[in-house]
Amino acid sequence: MIKRIVFILLLQVFLLGTKSYAQDPHFSQFYAAPTFMSPSLAGSTGGVRLVSNYRNQWPGIKQAYHSYAVSADMYVNKYRSGFGAIMVTDQAGSADYNTTYLGLQYSYRIQLGENLQFIPGLQFTLGQMSLNRNKLIFPDGLVNGGQSSGDAYLAATKANYLDFNTSLFLYSRKYWIGTTVEHMMQPSYSFLDDQARTPMKMVVFGGMNVWRERVSRIEEPRRAAFCYRYERQHNFNQLDFGAYWYSRSLEFGAWWRGIPVFKNENLGTHYLDNDAIVLSAALVTGSFRFGYSYDIQTSDLAGFGGGAHEISIIIEFGDIFGCGAKYLDCFTKRAGLHFNKEQPRNLKIYY
């Protein structure tokens, strides 16, 4: 059974073949946007959770990228299922190019043994892309005194789409591995009526708890973990490695995003990906967590784009509806390694 699940995880890595590429919203604090990364993580705290994220990418470039995400998820113990909803908005450029979508998520926990759970997940998405025609400059506007309607170039300024994501997640007290395949319906992303399609995107992520030290019997232990993330979309590949350390109220993390091992292609040229060093810190008090991260650019935009600032807020409410896991230890902020073989546990992993 376990070998079959691992095979399915690996199979998803190779089931991607497309011909175009589109920009997707991105957050560097991967685990502080859990259901954005994988619908399998809906309900992973065993109770109710609210998450909000904001990213200001390349502030040194006027009107670059602003991304927002708000999500809510909960676990229903009776059905061993997690339910979630997420709304994401991405704003880019001087033409007010916006992408907004609402996703409904579902996950189901399958207990494989005392210390191992397998969680498939689904997400159905309804989205809209839009831009401001009045802020665009077209070729005829350059020869007509700056006046152009854009009618000859744009078929529309709004486009609605449906999409579908799937995910798989394998979790134990020591390690975790997951994969998410996005844009399985390959929706059109063009305003030019040329049927350009968003290619499928695959993300593989995982990590391992490598160190734990208990200071006292009443405080949560200090912990550390190593993590990785691999992304593939059409002819783009990216590999990230990171590490986390936290105590009872503080968390620190560092990632190298875009380790230069893949030769990507852009506009007919090939380049080694080397994107950024991401440093993060978070303050945790009770059920509230506030996180901040900064991307130090190591690419050709270093010193020009201004990196990226990112903020995350997570609030956990526990089992406020009486339908989550039955014991309260599941809902504590540091319950990621607690275990009860008769009840699903909090699957919180490092932010």
pLDDT tens for each residue of 279-323: 999 999 989 999 999 999 887 766 667 889 999 999 998 776 666
Alpha carbon distance 107, 23 (integer Å): 26
Domain boundaries, the chain: 2-195+284-296+309-331
Residue 45: CB partners within 8 Å, gap ≥ 6?
73, 75, 316, 330, 331, 346, 347, 348
pLDDT tens for each residue of 118-164: 999 999 999 998 887 666 655 555 555 555 555 555 555 788 999 99
Question: What is the CA 340 to chain-centroid distance, rounded?
Answer: 28
Alpha carbon distance 348, 123 (integer Å): 20
pLDDT at 351: 46
Alpha carbon distance 286, 252 (integer Å): 17
Please answer whether residues 346 and 333 qualify as being in contact, where contact means their C-beta atoms are separated by less than 8 angstroms. no
321 DSSP 8-state letter: T
Statement: residue 325 has pLDDT above 60 = no
Question: What is the CA 15 to chain-centroid distance, rounded?
Answer: 20
Please answer whether residues 220 and 324 qualify as being in contact, where contact means their C-beta atoms are separated by less than 8 angstroms. no
Span of 19-23, 205-209, 284-288 with lowest mean pLDDT: 19-23
Statement: residue 7 has pLDDT above 60 = no
pTM of the model: 0.82
Residue with tokens 């010193």: 303
Alpha carbon distance 58, 264 (integer Å): 21
